[in-house]
Amino acid sequence: MAIKAIGILGGTFDPIHYGHLRLAEEMLELAGLQQIRFIPAGTPPHRDKPQVSAEQRSAMVKLAIADHASFVLDEREVRRAGKCYTVDTLRELRAELGAQQPISLLMGGDAFLQLHTWHEWEQLFELAHIVVGYRPGFTIEERISSAPARLQAQYRQRLCAATTLREQAYGGIAVMGIPKLEISATVIRSRVAEQRSIRYLLPNVVAEYIHQHQLYASC
């Protein structure tokens, strides 16, 4: 049996919303992945105690994806004490899943253009593919030429077709046009604080959790 290709979607998910869920759904379909793992970020130890705990952010992800057979919650960063770098999370996943497992790290175009600022960023390509979602009509090509030379070189050398994401375990960069919903966690938090409606921006179960636990009341 062929090994299923998995995608990794990290984020603070503070809270998770339809922007995240549509991104995951589009990537699942366009990249032909069989599973997407949502990995909520832990709370860095040096940060002041946040209003919403990592466990609560994670609980909201769990509720939001409960009815999707291909979406899975992975709580490793929430459980891990200390600073979490994506490269360490990918090393752990690679060790658990084996050398043959196709793993794709999903991210938006803006995040990709800042990739050179990530801890041990060039190692990421030895562990996973990178799948970049960008707005249709906007091309990464237009913006990559102003990125640092090393990022440009990685991009040009590793650009691959979606099929590579399933056929090889790591090392490719694929770019996909994905409509971006105008929803952000920041807007949701301030709407809750202003006692405005957040309906249709995120799943009802998540909105109910926010209201029950009185989250974001004073953002």
Chain residues binding ligand ATP by CB under 6 A are 11-14, 19-20, 23, 107-108, 111, 180-181, 183-186
Nearest approach in angstroms of CB 190 to ligand ATP is 10
Residue with Cβ nearer ligand ATP (20 or 37)? 20
CA 12 to mean position of chain CA atoms: 9
Nearest approach in angstroms of CB 1 to ligand ATP is 31
In order, the DSSP letters of 14-33 are TT--HHHHHHHHHHHHHTT-
Residue with Cβ nearer ligand ATP (169 or 188)? 188
Residue 128 carries which DSSP code?
-
Q: How far apart are CA 17 and CA 145, in angstroms?
A: 32
Residue with Cβ nearer ligand ATP (100 or 117)? 117
Nearest approach in angstroms of CB 22 to ligand ATP is 6
CA 126 to mean position of chain CA atoms: 19
Give the nearest residue (CB) to ligand ATP.
Answer: 19
Contact 54, 82 (CB under 8 A): no
Residue with Cβ nearer ligand ATP (44 or 167)? 44
Contact 44, 77 (CB under 8 A): no
Nearest approach in angstroms of CB 6 to ligand ATP is 16
CA 178 to mean position of chain CA atoms: 14
Nearest approach in angstroms of CB 137 to ligand ATP is 15
Cα–Cα separations (whole angstroms), residue 31 to 4, 41, 77, 164, 171: 12, 24, 25, 9, 15
Helix pair 204-212, 54-65: axis angle to 10 deg? 150
Residue with Cβ nearer ligand ATP (181 or 205)? 181
Residue with Cβ nearer ligand ATP (11 or 172)? 11
Nearest approach in angstroms of CB 98 to ligand ATP is 26
Q: How far apart are CA 161 and CA 30, in angstroms?
A: 11
Q: How far apart are CA 116 and CA 45, in angstroms?
A: 24
Residues in a beta bridge with 72: 37
